Structure 1
Amino acid sequence: MLRKLYDWVFEQARRPYAERTMAAVSFAEASFFPIPPDVMLAPMILSRPERAYRYAAVCSIASLLGGLLGYAIGVFLEPVAVRLLDIFGHGVDMAVYQSWFASNGFLVILAKGLTPVPFKLVTVAAGMAHFHLGLFILAVAITRSGRFFLEAWILKTWGPPMLKIVERRLALSFVIGLVLLIGGFLLLKLL
């Protein structure tokens, strides 16, 4: 089953509409969707390494635009924003968000934008806290571009040789990736 899923993801990454789909996922993830664009970005880069930086740019721009939608949800649709945060397990008092963004908003956006934390939590919370829009745009542009271009560089540089190892030991690679992902989330939760 794992092999079929793996093959399906790479087949989707090679489709002519894959770039548009990745952009849509990146846009939606920054405002309301739970799945990060990396699930498409990584296989697309591995399938066509010569387009790595183009894909990173598309993801970055779409994420910024989606972040603006998330911000707008936080500003103009507070009941929807509160519900979104509750759904993702981050419903806290409005005063908490306002204090985060009042004291360290720029750094919060930079730090959270690089991590696997769902970015919509940051964008919606920034809007709810009425964080300065210009600083929000700057921080999102820096952090999302940094994340996607770093991922593109890593995958373009070391991806093809690693892909051969992953394909030979798919089950082991999946377990290691899952452990690292869960460990990363636990570490972020503790911090």
Structure 2
Amino acid sequence: MPQAPPFITRFLLRLRRWADAGWSNSVVFGWGLLQGGIFPGLADLFFLPLALARPERAYRLALVATAGTLIGSVVLYWIGAEALVLLEGPVARFFDFSPDVFAEYRTRLAQYGAWAIFASTMSPLSTKLTSLASGAIGVPFAAFTGALLAGRLTRTFALAWLVRHGGAQAVARWTHVPPA
């Protein structure tokens, strides 16, 4: 197997020091919160490297990352729900949407909206727009939260499983840095 470039090896060793400093949970939670609600970017930006640095913590970091993104997304959902007043009022009149059209959308979203939200969490794309739109269009809060939680847990636990069952060892072989 070809050897990793030296900067990758140095980066992995630095990640281990950061993970051992005791603030990895805070960083993963904070980034999840900011990414779920404000900043664009991958939700797994800190979770995955820190899990690779300390694979024994992968599942705990998956839970922490999920909690952060869930809270950030729920905030966006409520912002979208507040925007619903504008959508049903002046914007609806401008585009000639009747209250019946909104009622039809809500019925359809109550049936299928959770699947769309779940699918959005599986992609590497941000769920910010999905969260805002879910609130604005009126996806039921329980369906939104359940689908978001199920999707995020599925994604982060699948990544944690990969880290624990081969990913961390593959990185250690490639960088010639012994596993943690």
Alignment-mate amino acid for residue 25 of structure 2: E
Name the counterpart of 1:133: 141
Aligned 8 A contact 1:27 1:65 in 2: yes
Residues 25, 36 of structure 1: 8 Å contact kept: no
Unaligned runs of 5+ residues in structure 2 are 85-96
**Structure 1 residues 128, 155: closer, same or farther in 2, change over 3 A?**
same
Alpha-carbon distance between aligned partners in 2 of 1:21 and 1:112, rounded to the nearest angstrom: 23
User: Residues 96-107 of structure 1 correspond to what in structure 2 (within 5 A)?
Assistant: 101=109, 104-107=112-115
Asked whether 1:155 is paired with 2:160, we answer no
**Aligned to 2:73, which of 67, 70, 79?**
67
Instruction: Count matched residues.
Output: 153
Quick one: which amino acid aligns to residue 7 of structure 2?
Answer: R
Q: Match for 1:23 among 11, 26, 29? A: 29
Match of 2:43 among 28, 37, 46: 37
Separation in 2, partners of 1:142, 1:122: 15
Q: TM-score scaled to structure 2, two decimals?
A: 0.72
Change in CA separation of 1:160 and 1:75 when aligned onto 2, cut-off 3 Å: same
| TM-score, length of structure 1 as denominator length | 0.68
- Is the 8 Å Cα contact of residues 106 and 136 (structure 1) preserved in structure 2? yes
Aligned-pair identity (%):
25
Give the deviation of 1:136 after TM superposition: 0.5
1:108-127 equivalent positions in 2, closer than 5 A: 108-127=116-135
Larger Rg: 2
Bigger relative contact order (CA 8 A; separation at least 6): 2
2:64 maps to a residue whose letter is V
| Residue range with higher mean Cα deviation, 50-59 or 99-108 | 99-108
Q: Check the 8 A contact 2:122/2:151 in 1, yes or no.
A: yes
Unaligned segments of structure 1, at least 5 residues: 79-93, 169-191
- Say what the alpha-carbon RMSD is for the aligned residues: 3.0
